[in-house]
Structure 1
Amino acid sequence: MPSWLKDLIKFYKERLLYRLTLTFIIFYSGLGLLSVTLEPEQIDTFFNLLAGLSLTYFLLYGFIKVSWLFYHHFLSEIIDIFSDISLELIPRPRTIKEIDQMSGIEFEKFLIDFFRDKGYLVTSTPVTGDFGADLILEHHQVKIAVQAKRYSHSVGIEAVYQAISGMNYNSCDSAMVITNSRFTPHAKALAIWASVELWDRNRLVEELNQFNY
């Protein structure tokens, strides 16, 4: 087998076009357009791979000259297609006004996606009987109990008590309360005393902007 052909196969071996490369080699070898000497074992391997490929490739690209330029161009098109698909799958950015329109359960689901995108392992607790923790976050072997409050009014001291309860019940290392609203002075005071992290409306907006969410 010519060295340039070996290099071509090696280059695409672990890439998306590997099987397509082999298909074109067989196709053009059959037409006599390439002077390629293949061993019987290699021919068997090629045709086994060929069996799994769609004839669409032949209809679209069968008469296009095999060249490095073609492969790079085709690969770029594939990357663009998958990039577009990936962008469609990424949740669109949320504004604080959109969050204000969510229900409590929708807000929890939003936080689940948000923290997972940030690299956290997220576990949601039962809707009832959560013992004060709506979510359990895990990151770098640290567990955090989260109490989520999608409120139209200020969040009181009860939410901080719930977060502390959820932290103890779930054997977490720390606790936090996240809201789209504000915290009352009593809630802030207890949070400072108990080392509970509070994310109010401003902090939530900062986190969303920082993460380009």
Structure 2
Amino acid sequence: MVKFIYMPPLIKKLVLGFSTVVLANAPSYEVSLFTGINRLVKLGDPLSITRKQNPQGSEKISVSDTDELKSLKIEEGLSYPGMGLKIYYRHSGAALIILQEPFSGKIRSKKIALFPFGPSPLGTWEEYLIKELGIPDFTVTGGRLNSKALFYSWGDISFNAMGPNQLALYRDSKIAKYREKNFGRELQILPKTEAAGDAQESN
């Protein structure tokens, strides 16, 4: 049984107006497929630089009990849930950057917004993404939320009928193999985290 809640016109106007302001004021970033996100994180950046540039809202990702990540020599993980950003670090620096909603931005020099959700501007989403990004190295189906992924030398982009839902940047073929089984928008961006600040204090 569906229940409808009555909302007085004035309250409804205020709520909708507030939502519009929040969306309008949300920061928007430009993503380089070959380096990373300006003002946030770039591939190769040490974790300390990421924290210095973005000191608020981070959570540490627990990777010690994940065999797949350990096999990739991932030592640490950091997430910014409020930005839809997740980063995995090796000793050499950031090796895997994952973006999904609520991240707001666009891909540099491409007509691809992240992540508005809706119909494709031209043809199917797969056709449009290939038109903008070029022919992928390979394609994988069966991701989260019925997603499909296009894999390139710079990483991969996941999408479904509603559009792109996740973007991952990396350079390692072993990470690409990991991503083949782990792509598509996560309903909860972090399955297991602890506050980064608390983690720092305990070290």
**TM-score higher than 0.5 here?**
no
More helix by share: 1
TM range (shorter): under 0.3
**TM-score (normalizing by structure 2):** 0.20
Structure with max Cα Rg: 1
**Relative contact order (alpha carbons < 8 A, sep ≥ 6): 1 or 2 greater?**
2
